[in-house]
A and B are shown apart, each in its own frame.
Chain A
């Protein structure tokens, strides 16, 4: 192990946290074992929609080792049968009246071990009366459709919301005067974040102190604590949420799930710690899914490809309870209004309808900033349909419509203010890496040989880093974030954050930020997160907000500490503070390079030799509310070859050029890119959650829910350009979601390009061998 290395901002530093992960020394919720801890299991509904006539728990209670069986009625007695969702709806914790999706929580068993708990489930007798089921959102608003949410007073249909944004008339006019218009229906299928670690909690209620400690798989421990306090009535300071190591979140660990609440209630009732840990099937069946958007994309353009207007229509399926993630009620489609993306679009309009269905609740931001994935897919797919209509090179079409560098900071017609960017430069770099001219030659040759090869593009901007607090909130709490930094006498630092890593490498990246600001090695900065008793209040990690918001807070708190350090340095060097300058490594008396002090020396002085009128110590705290979001962007190229006999799609190459502004740790950025590309390519090719007509979940294990493996992934070709964010103190933007957002359309565009000589203009994801085979045969291509 390197001991004397000094890493700082911008270095490809190995991840500090990996030492423990590689050795199997991580500490996840399931590793938490407390004295006299009990275990649990959840009885789930086998029906997608059914009335509950009766629940008989007596046989389960008689099983040796069972401590409690909690039902919805027990919770109702405490006013806890229903809980609020992040979208302002309500969700059943344990079903009382009806079950509304297969896998819904019906009863909670607490037992000596998880085996007994699981056995007890089979002894619970529930009398269900099956009801008509809605799985296809397009039927949810039909006359006579069963009303799913009859728990809501006066609810007479399955509509959740109707929403629109943009200028409808101006867009209509653009379509009327356009020489060319295209329209494409598409479906972004339901998929699942599927983190490696499922959700779980250990609830530990201390009867003597009244304190509830929850070890929980939470991406947002502080926000969750506040919500817990509001729902349970327990005083907030008596609730402590500890998010230990988290094995992937991807948005799945943003909502509060019934299991957490049940574990807490059980611990309150029994006065013993209770662990609840989902199985894989539990996770895939009941926790928040993503996407499930039926969309229509329309573009109006001139005959030479200048976009005049864009229109999109959405039918959003939110499942049985509206538990989708949104940064405030004004965003029922999240940041979908970013759909005009990197293009200079003069008129745009979007309209959406949200509906209930008998499927798991959610609609969360799976590795994307609130529905950006859907928006970019719609735009990039429709762009290719337009290129096809115009018989224009998709590259040329995109380039023609890019927002130009000179237009930055650009305000889009939908009202977003982009923080810089150079879309042409990104595309140029991607084309250079790909060798576009040669690729086109290769494709021509392949076609002559009867091989089916396609090249797909996706150029886009993301929108990440919510706040600003005035625009974005969770349950009213504005989306700022926080950092607290303390330097100890020997110059070693502890940094505490309001966010929470789930694998993103915060312990390294944030240490590097402090290192860069204070001239101390990142090795000497310990990063702490995820314990509400011991970290400043923050909104958590999702939607690529950690670096844009908390990274900024970290830079600013470091600068605050440096300001105080400057006074101490001046005192040490017997100079005035105004005469001190920071070289990037140490303080120095202006004009006297031999008179200086490092941050280590200043730290020692902060506890041993402070000037009169200064407090001892060297620490600070910052709550940072960003002025705007950040807009990382990318240019992606995907090359595929299709087996005409079997329909299998092979991704031969994937080129991804990203601009996330200044890179704090380029290696970590690239790691995030690799992971995100695997997610996105997987979504395009294989990941899907489907239901049969009765609402049976068809993908409840990893044998059925297919995710990309390294064997299907090409060797990624990454590139970068750097245009610093105009407002972020480090010039950085978020990154880890760009690849998930940008890659699905690149893959689909490549497959459609491959099949376009045969007349294919669109195919819905996932592009499974069977689906591609059908497209081949329907269009007269034989083996």
Chain B
């Protein structure tokens, strides 16, 4: 068995207490949610938190998926499986459903949380890319109160976020359901992180694409947004030629690096292919338009 280094352990009974414990134990303390990103890193001795503050008892406060005034609110402790099981998600946010079917395996999905996915800052994590396509807000609470962080501003680098050491993500909020959305991913095998993945969300009005959002996973030092590709789509009638142009633009905007999953050219090519496929599906879900 791989064994982690020594750490202290606290259990928080409320979000407020979690924040107080984070303050008390300082910057080397970490929240423990599902543990499926943090614990593997501790066991491989890549992470050495001095204190773990377990927030698993905060389900009452933080485990929810609900619609409020047309917005979708997902609590930080909603499990991947909760997202997958949610009817609202399935019907109105299929991009999240798509993504969840491709995240890890049932064991991981039963434990891993939406808040953990966002806070970990892992560029290979799927939900941030899907949320980026949707344009969501991340709600965080700290000693100074609550604030809202646009998803585009959450990550600052690989495994780095704008969160203060004593801040806790309480949830994510998506203001409006897109008419069409989809998530596509290439992985070497079930349970593997993405070689590349693309999330797309869009509306169609008068037969033209509006508000296109494209999030890119695992093709850069952080989750990326393909703004140039989004611009290409804006106001255009959906067609294959257009998707390909958007794909090519997104590939240029991606910043992949070579690893065991493949060389840079491969990953750029995947971006091209996946953008096209995600667009096809999202447009189809939006009711065609072509």
Residues of A within 8 A of B (CB): 30, 114-115, 118-119, 277, 279-281, 645-648, 686, 690, 698-699, 701, 703-704, 706, 708-709, 711-712, 768-770, 773-774, 777, 783
Contacts and interface: CB of A to CB of B under 8 A. Distances in A.
A770 B266 CA distance: 7
7 contacts: A114-B3, A279-B1, A706-B192, A712-B189, A770-B261, A773-B269, A783-B273
A375 B156 CA distance: 52
Interface string B162-192: 0000000000000000000000001011111
B1 A645 contact: no
Given A711-B190, A712-B190, A769-B188, A119 B2 contact: no
A118 B189 contact: no
Contacts of A699: 260
Interface in B253-290: 260-263, 266, 269-270, 272-274, 276-277
B47 interface: no
B195 interface: yes
Contacts, number: 66
Across the A-B interface, give the 8 residue pairs with the lowest CB-CB distance, nearest first.
A770-B262, A645-B273, A711-B190, A279-B2, A709-B190, A646-B186, A783-B273, A770-B266
Nearest to B105: A709
A332 B40 CA distance: 40
A769 B2 contact: no
B5 interface: yes
B180 to A, nearest CB: 21
Nearest to A645: B273
Contacts of A115: 3, 6
A783 B243 CA distance: 13
A280 B1 CA distance: 7
A698 B24 CA distance: 39
Contacts of B6: 115, 119
Given A114-B3, A279-B3, 15 more contacts: A114-B1, A115-B3, A279-B2, A281-B2, A281-B44, A646-B186, A646-B273, A646-B274, A703-B40, A709-B105, A709-B190, A709-B191, A769-B186, A770-B263, A783-B269
Contacts of A768: 188, 262
A773 B1 contact: no
Dominant SS at the A interface? loop
Given A701-B44, A704-B260, A773 B266 contact: yes
B245 to A, nearest CB: 14
Nearest to A278: B1
Nearest to B185: A646
B273 A708 contact: no
Contact of B2 (A280, A770, A773): A280
B262 A773 contact: yes
A645 B277 contact: yes
B269 A118 contact: no
Contacts of A708: 189
A281 B3 CA distance: 11
A686 B260 contact: no
B182 to A, nearest CB: 15
A118 B4 CA distance: 8
A769 B195 contact: yes
A709 B189 contact: yes
B280 to A, nearest CB: 12
A198 to B, nearest CB: 8
Dominant SS at the B interface? loop
A648 B186 contact: yes
Contacts of B260: 690, 698-699, 704
A645 B269 CA distance: 8
A352 B1 CA distance: 38
Contacts of A704: 260
B167 to A, nearest CB: 29
A305 B109 CA distance: 54
A774 B263 CA distance: 10
A279 B1 CA distance: 4
Contacts of A114: 1, 3
Contacts of B188: 686, 706, 768-769
Contacts of A712: 189-190
Contacts of B277: 645
Contacts of B276: 783
Contact of B189 (A645, A698, A706): A706
A285 to B, nearest CB: 12
Nearest to A282: B2
A277 B3 CA distance: 12
A648 to B, nearest CB: 7
Contacts of B105: 709
Contacts of A703: 40, 192-193
**Most central of A115, A118, A277, A281 by chain B CB within 10 Å:** A118
A750 to B, nearest CB: 18
B118 to A, nearest CB: 21
Nearest to A690: B260
Contacts of A647: 266
Nearest to A644: B273
Nearest to B190: A711
Nearest to A30: B1
A711 B190 CA distance: 7
Contacts of A277: 1
B24 to A, nearest CB: 25
Contact of A118 (B3, B192, B195): B3
A30 B40 CA distance: 21
**Most central of A647, A699, A770 by chain B CB within 10 Å:** A770
A74 B290 CA distance: 77
A280 B276 CA distance: 39
B125 to A, nearest CB: 14
A118 B3 CA distance: 7
A769 B262 contact: yes
A128 B195 CA distance: 36
Given A115-B3, A706-B188, A709-B190, A770 B195 contact: yes
Nearest to B270: A646
Nearest to A39: B3
Contacts of A280: 2
Given A115-B3, A645-B273, A774 B266 contact: yes
Nearest to B277: A645
A770 B188 CA distance: 9
B189 A686 contact: yes
A525 B121 CA distance: 58
A121 to B, nearest CB: 10
A698 B1 CA distance: 19
A777 to B, nearest CB: 7
A709 B260 CA distance: 19
Contacts of A648: 186
A777 B1 CA distance: 42
